[in-house]
Structure 1
Amino acid sequence: MLYKSIAKPVLFRMDPEKAHHLTIDGLHTFGKIPGGRRLLQAVWGVGVYPELETELWNIKFTNPVGLAAGLDKNGKAVPGFSSIGFGFMEVGTVTPKPQEGNPLPRLFRLPEDGALINRMGFNNVGIEGMKRNLRNQGKRTIPLAINIGKNKATPNEQAHEDYRACIQALYGYGDFFVVNISSPNTPDLRNLQHGDDLSRLLAAVKDEMDAMHAKFGGREKPVLVKIAPDLTPEEVEYTAATILRSNVSGIIVSNTTISRDGLANANRGETGGLSGRPLTGKSTELIGTVYRLTEGKLPIIGSGGIFTAEDAYAKIRAGASLVEVYTALIYEGPALVKRINRGLRQLLRQDGFKHISEAVGSAHTGR
């Protein structure tokens, strides 16, 4: 109510990217001032629900709802986002060198469609800038994933060097890492999802992760791959098989789409990745396909068009162990996280599940 009646009308009168920066700066400030985090938790925090607690990769998640990459690109507002109920969050995408991204304007609202289109182009402060941001924020209260990518100027033949550089610089700051090869806004990036390029890239990433683990010790940190929703059935099959053979830890399904089917808003013709409600069914279907192809052996994080507990639950039943939101947070506000978690508890009880893990992939067993 507070967001929709006061904050949203103000933010939606602003340019989308300016509103984005204002939000990040506000959460950054709240995370630093005395009592700021407690205030955020008091207003929007989520209670502890044992039936929603999940452990994956030796990491404990108090609930399955996370923040997708792209909102806090530079890891600037981690304490603030950590205080509004998320079970985990992603920062990034970060690249080795800072880059400005694509020309403005590059972020567009489609309110009638419950969607956003962005062509940001991995605008970020680079690995050293993110390192400073994360180092200055103190102890985290939720698991943090660092989403890594390549610089625009780096040819695909050298992409592995960029991913290695991100891991080397930021290994000590993340609980797990996400290899982004599926953004539509960096030229030729999606080609890394195909052929031998994917095998070579993931082999290099795994090699670097193993080297950093050997250097620093402690818990072995997982690495996941984020795929696009626009792969053909044949490409999905090949990509899933390659990821499974690579011994990475999981898959995020999915990134934004380049499809424009069924859109009503005038911004529908803008170039970039589409997120939000138009992606809901498409990503859920792809989760189910990937779950079947990998025989449930790789944990999946489901992302794309989650606005309600029912949306999240459908992805969990299709095979996702965790889920992420982004666009819905823009339209619905921070209360979304609490609402989804409370709804998930009700849906679990309704279907006779005592714990969320029992619901993962249950659509494939007829339960």
Structure 2
Amino acid sequence: MPDWSYKTLFRPVLFRLPSRVSRSFTLGAMGAISRIPGGSFIIRTLGHMELSPLLERELGERPLISPIGLSGRVDPNGAAQKALAQFGFGFTEIGPVTVRPVISSEPIRVDGREETLHYPNRFENEGLAAAAERVKRKEHKLPQYARLAPMPGSSPEAAIGELGEMMEAFGDAGAAGFCLDFASGGLAWDEVLAVCGQIPRLAEKTALPLLLYVPLTLPEERLRQLLDMPEASIWKGAVIGDDLPAAARSGAAEESDSFAAETGRLALAESIRKASFLRKRMGDRFVLIAGGGLHEPYQALQLLEAGADFLMLHSGLIFSGPGLPKRINEAIIYETVRREPPPPAIPFWRNWGWMCLLGIGMIVGGLLAWWIGETQVLLSYDLQFLGMTIPDIHHVNHHLLHFMSHDRITLAGTMISIGILYYQLARYGQRYGEHWAKTALTSSCVVGFSSFFLYLGYGYFDPLHALAAAVLLPMFILSMRRNADRPSREPVNLRNDKAWRLAMWGQLCFVALGIALAAGGLAIAGVGITNVFVKADLAFLGTTPEALDQANPRLIALIAHDRAGFGGALLCDAIAILIIALWGIGEGKRWLWWTLLIGGAPGFYGGLSVHYHIGYIDFMHLLPAFVAVFLYLAGLILLYPYMMKRKSAI
């Protein structure tokens, strides 16, 4: 569920459902997808969550692939841990966990306007036994840190016993470390200090790092008191909470003594203050994890600037979307590389230049094919294969040459579109080591060259097509050599502004367009190697396959060659567009917006203009093309404010 589907389709529906139903449905669906064969691959593919080595960190001598963690309260029962682990996280939190389950049937209230979640009980969880078993199952490879809390209302002695019991259970289960939350469960302050004084005794039983949970509302003088205790040296670092007491905003007296809490955007300011205070107080070796109110990438940079080492996402995933960790990762990478000198340029002839030439070759070939389709339609070797002349073909069916022209011009327009996409992706993407651009080129080219074999089963070998493939294939092979990935140096999106929200709709349009074109390409290629004609084709021609076969047994083979070739080219084009839509669209990528505009125009113009020119205007036959044009134009319009920006600012 990437942002382009979550923000546009799913969130409006999910926010209208009861919150617990919405959460159960969403997490259950993601969990089910992740458990089917290839499900995790699908999730990674939709979001392109491949992580850069620049994001690697260490927490308690444990290597992490990203500094972003997943709050345990996003998925308290572990329904979708395997799926969520694919979203770009480096670690996950389990908890808060208490020795016995804490159950609440009251609704979780969601305030979309204020971007706030209201929990009836901040300690709601499934209990020690179920949570430890979940960690033991190891549904993913990310380190799991357990946030442990005494039962609400426990005495100091009971609290120490419960924490010790949970540390032992989670240590055996394979937890990477512990975050101890004993300052937010209702203990009096002197009791909190008493529990803290006993923590070293528990620490003797484990070699795993211990982190102090710091409630967001804990006054600085009390936090200073905790950190000044002799026992404070046992803390590897701290996790800054994200809860605000519900009564603090609602003013409801009946909630003042409960464990109801709110979390959301309003927690950010205090998270930044706490991070700044702790960093100044504890120095650089003290690990800080924060994330309260983190809903946009620029806020992540603010928290990191304030002193946080790691970030924990909670309410931001619900209100901004599941793409938030990826966007934050991209912002961190950009902030890293923009301060470094640019790497040496990749020479033209090493790889990307060959792909530029391949693109130019496709454009030239498409123009040549268009000219042929507009004039003589059939080449000499086509006529030699048929053993017929142009008048002979007219005698068989006066619409037949028009129909062949229609196939060849639509193929020509698609070839030109492919050539433009390849040239631009090579010049502005592959040239700078963009992983997504290279993936788009590789996937599209493999399909394109493979489609050459689609029509050979009918017994027609096109020498010009074969010559073009023989010339272009070495260019593709040369373009793939020494293709190391490089981190992007382009500015990234930092805010959930109007342009970004519109862009999610634009991205959805292009994803739908890519899928539609791929389906169309497969269908056309499938028809080309099987039935060759659809009903609308035969209605336009006013004939039957049997009649054509009787007139010349090789006619259908020639037409099948054109149809299968066009289907393969359309699929090749669709794959490039789909990968661009899924992975390439970004703020300020002006070159890519122009690529989509200029690259799509020849294909749509060729396909539609030739139908009207020859009079093949069956509405149902053209309806898919009209839908594709609508998606193309709507996508460009919606993406314009976002992709044509100069630069995102904090």
TM-score tier, shorter chain, comes to 0.7 to 0.9
| Higher alpha-carbon deviation: 222-231 or 114-123 | 114-123
Q: Matched residues in 2 for 1:103 and 1:20: separation? A: 14
**CA displacement at 1:165 relative to structure 2:** 1.1
Tell me which residue corresponds to 2:282: 294
Partner of 2:239: 252
Q: Is the 8 A contact 2:110 2:117 kept in 1?
A: yes
Contact 2:182 2:195 in 1 (8 A): no
SS in 2 for 1:208: coil
How far did residue 260 of structure 1 move? 7.0
Tell which deviates more after alignment, 307-316 or 320-329. 307-316
> Residue 309 in 1 paired to residue 310 in 2?
no
Aligned counterparts, 1:159-198, within 5 A: 159-171=159-171, 172-183=173-184, 186=185, 188-189=186-187, 191=189, 194-198=192-196
Letter in 1 for 2:164: R
Contact 1:260–1:268, Cα closer than 8 Å, also in 2? yes
1:285 aligns with 2:287: no
2:275, 2:341 → 1: CA distance?
A: 21
1:315-330 equivalence runs, <5 A? 315-330=303-318
Offset, 1:121: 4.2
Does the CA-based 8 Å contact 2:183-2:192 persist in structure 1?
no
Counterparts of 1:46 and 1:112, CA distance in 2: 29
Q: Distance in 2 between matches of 1:204 and 1:132?
A: 25
Letter in 2 for 1:224: L
Measure the CA separation in 1 of the matches of 2:12 and 2:76. Answer: 24
1:236 aligns with 2:223: yes
Q: Give, in whole Å, the separation in 1 of the partners of 2:100 and 2:40.
A: 31
State how far apart, in whole Å, the 1-side matches of 2:98 and 2:194 are.
22
Offset of residue 17 of structure 1: 2.1
The alpha-carbon distance between structure 1 residues 193 and 318, as it changes in their structure 2 partners (threshold 3 A), is farther
The 1:345–1:64 alpha-carbon spacing in structure 2 relative to 1, beyond 3 Å, is same
Q: Any idea what the Cα deviations from partners look like across 1:319-358, whole Å, max 9, x if unmatched?
A: 1111011001001221111111112222334455999xxx
| Distance change >3 Å, CA 251–CA 193, structure 1 → 2 | farther
1:156 and 1:108, CA in 2 relative to 1: closer, same or farther beyond 3 A?
A: farther
**CA separation of 1:118 and 1:190: change in aligned 2, threshold 3 A:** farther
Answering whether residue 205 of structure 2 is matched by residue 221 of structure 1, we say: no
Per-residue deviation at 1:194? 4.0
**Per-residue Cα deviation, 1:210-262 (whole angstroms, up to 9, x for no partner):** xxxxxxxxxx421211111212221121123338724121101123122777x
- Contact (CA 8 Å) 2:297, 2:331: kept in 1 or not? yes
Q: Pick one of 77, 90, 93 that aligns with 1:74.
A: 77
Q: Which residue number corresponds to residue 134 of structure 1?
A: 135
Equivalent residue letter for 1:47 = E
The percentage of aligned residue pairs carrying the same residue is 21
Considering Cα pairs closer than 8 Å and 6+ residues apart, tell me whether 1 or 2 has the greater RCO. 1
Note closer, same or farther for the CA distance 1:193–1:306 as it changes in structure 2 (3 Å cut).
farther
Q: Does 1:207 align with 2:204?
A: yes
CA shift for structure 1 position 310: 1.5
Does the aligned pair in 2 maintain the 1:144–1:174 contact within 8 Å? yes
The AA in structure 1 aligned to 2:193 is: G
- Does residue 150 (structure 1) correspond to residue 150 (structure 2)? The answer is yes
Return closer, same or farther for 1:158/1:193 CA change in 2, 3 Å cut-off. closer
State the Cα distance separating 1:192 from its structure 2 match: 7.7
What do the CA deviations read for 1:154-174 (whole angstroms, capped 9, x no partner)?
333310111111111121321
Quick one: structure 1 residues 207 and 78, their matched pair in 2 at CA, closer, same or farther if it must change by over 3 Å?
A: same
Match of 2:57 in 1: 54
Structure 2 residue identity aligned to 1:8: R
CA distance in 2 between partners of 1:288 and 1:192 (Å):
26
* TM-score, reference length from structure 2: 0.48
Instruction: Give distance in 2, aligned partners of 1:129 and 1:309.
Output: 34
Q: Residue 303 of structure 1 aligns to which amino acid in structure 2?
A: G
What is the CA deviation profile of residues 276-329 of structure 1, one whole-angstrom value per residue up to 9, with x for unaligned ones? 210111111110101111122311111211112211111112111110110010
Are the counterparts in 2 of residues 72 and 92 from structure 1 also a CA contact under 8 Å? no
The 8 Å contact of residues 51 and 65 in structure 2, kept in 1 or not, is answered as yes
Residue 311 to residue 189, structure 1, CA distance change in 2 (3 Å): farther
SS of 1:151's equivalent in the other structure is: coil
Higher mean Cα deviation, 225-234 or 283-292?
225-234
SS in 2 for 1:113: coil
**Closer, same or farther: CA 232–98 of 1 in aligned 2, 3 Å:** closer
Distance in 2 (CA, whole Å) between partners of 1:153 and 1:143 is: 30
- Once the 2 structures are TM-superposed, how far is the Cα of residue 56 of structure 1 from its aligned partner? 2.5
Any idea what SS the aligned residue of 2:309 has? strand
Q: Tell me how far apart the structure 2 counterparts of residues 110 and 191 of structure 1 sit (CA, whole Å).
A: 32
| Greater share of residues in helix | 2
TM-score (norm. length: structure 1): 0.82
Secondary structure in 1 matching 2:13? helix
Q: 2: CA distance between counterparts of 1:353 and 1:276?
A: 38
**Matched residue of 1:165: which SS?**
helix
- The corresponding residue for 2:21 is 18
* One-letter amino acid of the counterpart of residue 165, structure 1: E
Q: Distance in 1 between matches of 2:82 and 2:146?
A: 15
Indicate if the aligned counterparts of 1:253 and 1:300 stay in contact, CA closer than 8 A: yes
Specify the alignment match of 2:328 in structure 1. Answer: 340
Q: Quick one: distance in 2 between partners of 1:160 and 1:97?
A: 15
Deviating beyond 6 angstroms after TM superposition, the runs of 4 or more aligned structure 1 residues are: none
How many angstroms does 1:179 deviate by? 1.1
Compute the displacement of 1:18 (Å).
Answer: 2.1
CA displacement, residues 88-140 of structure 1 (integer Å, 9 cap, x when unaligned): 1112112112231x4513x22122222212132423222221233333454x3
1:60 maps to amino acid: P
- Which structure 1 segments of 5+ residues have no match? 210-219, 356-367
CA 231–22 in structure 1, closer or farther in 2 if over 3 Å, else same: same
Q: Which moved more, 1:80-89 or 1:267-276?
A: 267-276
Structure 2 unaligned segments of length 5 or more: list them: 343-486, 488-650
User: Is the 8 Å Cα contact of residues 24 and 72 (structure 1) preserved in structure 2?
Assistant: yes
